[in-house]
């Protein structure tokens, strides 16, 4: 059951990443590129967690990838809203 859910989450994240990549290509707005990278990193994070043995000691380290992905989203929002000179 859990493996199936992980597979679905990884697929959904990758699809979202690909859509954002397409928006980036069609608009040239790097806001979408950051979103694409964030969802791709989320997919990688879930894939690694799914492949890892449950409750291994280095588990928290995998979540740094997730944290970096969220950081990309925050940076994208900051980048979009900062005043242009």
Partner 1 sequence: MAAIIYALCAITSMLCSWLLLRGYRRNGYRLLFWSGLCFVGLSVNNILLILDRIVFPTSVDLLTWRLVAALIALLPLLYGLIWEE
Q: Does residue number 1 form part of the binding site for partner 1 (CB under 8 A)?
A: yes
Angstrom distance (rounded) from CA 70 to CA 41: 9
Out of 25, 30, 52, 74, the only residue in the binding site for partner 1 (CB under 8 A) is 74
Out of 8, 25, 52, 79, the only residue in the binding site for partner 1 (CB under 8 A) is 8
Residues 29-68 that bind partner 1 (CB under 8 A): 35, 46, 54, 59-60, 63-64, 66-67
Angstrom distance (rounded) from CA 1 to CA 20: 29
- Binding residues for partner 1, rule: CB under 8 A, are 1-2, 5-6, 8-9, 12-13, 15-16, 19-20, 23, 35, 46, 54, 59-60, 63-64, 66-67, 70-71, 73-74, 77, 81
């Amino acid at each position: 059951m859990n493996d199936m859910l992980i597979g679905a989450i990884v697929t959904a994240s990758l699809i979202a990443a690909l859509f954002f990549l397409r928006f980036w290509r069609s608009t040239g707005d790097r806001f979408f590129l950051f979103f694409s990278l964030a969802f791709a990193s989320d997919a990688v994070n879930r894939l690694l967690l799914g492949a890892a043995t449950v409750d291994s000691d280095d588990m928290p380290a995998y979540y740094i990838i997730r944290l970096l992905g969220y950081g990309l989203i925050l940076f994208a929002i900051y980048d979009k809203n900062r005043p242009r000179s």
